[in-house]
Structure 1
Amino acid sequence: MKPMLIAPLALTALLGACANSGANVEPILDGPPNARYESDLAACRALARSQSQLDHETMAAAALGAGAGGVLGAIDEDGDALGGAVIGALAGAATGVTGASEKRAEIVLNCLRGRGHAIVG
């Protein structure tokens, strides 16, 4: 498979594997859940899932990773710039997706707190 096809396919697989990550956080309650908890949790998770993981921060991380990987690949005697750029872009995108996943988890927790649930983590 050509290197130009590998990067988009790998990035798509990475994003697909992390599609619901963060939004599926299991909050820790301080006390028993009330009657509204399950419906509020579902609504907060839906809100978190609506936040795109392929945001500007993820794209910027992928671009920076591609640039750094391309430079390092070109400098290395046995490496090549394109291969380094592909690896760097994937590493940068993975970092961006991880940040987006953490943001989604924080959205769920803050949403539940905003709805009056005693969330400790």
Structure 2
Amino acid sequence: MLRLKSLGIVSLICLVAACENSGANYQPVIDGPVGPNYDIDLAQCQSLAARQGAFDSTTGASAGTGALAAGGTTAVLNNKGTNVRDAAIVGAVAGIAAGAVQQQQNKAAIVRNCMRSRGYNVVG
């Protein structure tokens, strides 16, 4: 079981590392013509989004909720100490991964909003 936990933790680290700036590299769909400053504006908006961390303030709560839900369900259905502990660890990892994915979506929203504030008609 130790191998499974280690694999889960390594997978989470790889996921976060791979996705760290994926939201910041988002390129919005612009309706209409773009001016000569488009590349500069996009780079500045992406830089603003990239300054955000890989996790947001709710990631800890997501990890706790995942651990509680998985551990509690396992305790009710299969009340063995090691199973509950392992389920709680898996739930916490799932919560952390969900927090990382949400943060990447937040970064893409930052890029969209930044481009809108610079006068671009962002449609997606």
If the TM-score is normalised by the length of the shorter chain, which range does it land in? Answer: 0.7 to 0.9
Where does structure 2 lack aligned partners over 5 or more consecutive residues? none
**Number of residue pairs matched by the alignment:** 121
Cross-structure match for 2:97: 94
TM-score (norm 1): 0.85
* Shift of residue 74, structure 1, vs aligned partner: 2.2
Q: Percent identity?
A: 40
Cross-structure match for 1:104: 107
Cross-structure match for 2:118: 115
Where does structure 1 lack aligned partners over 5 or more consecutive residues? none
2:88 to 68, 85, 88: 85
- C-alpha contact 1:7 1:86 (8 A) present in aligned 2: no
1:19-44 per-residue CA deviation (whole Å, 9 max, x = no partner) reads 11222222111112211101110111
* Shift of residue 77, structure 1, vs aligned partner: 2.4
Structure 1 position 42 matched with structure 2 position 22: no
TM-score (norm 2): 0.83
1:59-83 per-residue CA deviation (whole Å, 9 max, x = no partner) reads 2101110111111222232870111
- C-alpha contact 2:9 2:93 (8 A) present in aligned 1: no
